[in-house]
Amino acid sequence: MREQVEKALEKIRPALQRDGGDVELVEVGEDGIVKVRLTGACGGCPMSAITLKQGIERVLKQEVASVTEVVSV
């Protein structure tokens, strides 16, 4: 499942990088919870919660059926 998540994150990454940020995969749990770390401009952005839930989580759930939630650490 980790490889699938990494592949899905590669689709998201260019949009984040255009804004000066990035996303780092920290952990993929057996329970379907994916832990990520927003870095660069995304790390301190007031919109990061929206980016996380409506952007990253939405795409990961579409691409990897076993993903149940994405959380930032």
Each residue's pLDDT tens digit, 20-38: 999 999 999 999 999 999 9
Indicate the CATH number for domain 2-72. Answer: 3.30.300.130
Mean pLDDT, the chain, whole residue set: 95
Q: Categorize the per-residue pLDDT at 6 as very low, low, confident or very high, splitting at 50, 70 and 90.
A: very high
DSSP state of 64: -
Q: Categorize the per-residue pLDDT at 44 as very low, low, confident or very high, splitting at 50, 70 and 90.
A: confident
pTM: 0.92
Q: Which residues lie below 8 Å from residue 62, measured CB to CB, with a gap of 6+?
A: none
Q: Is the dihedral of CA 16, 18, 20, 46 positive or negative?
A: negative
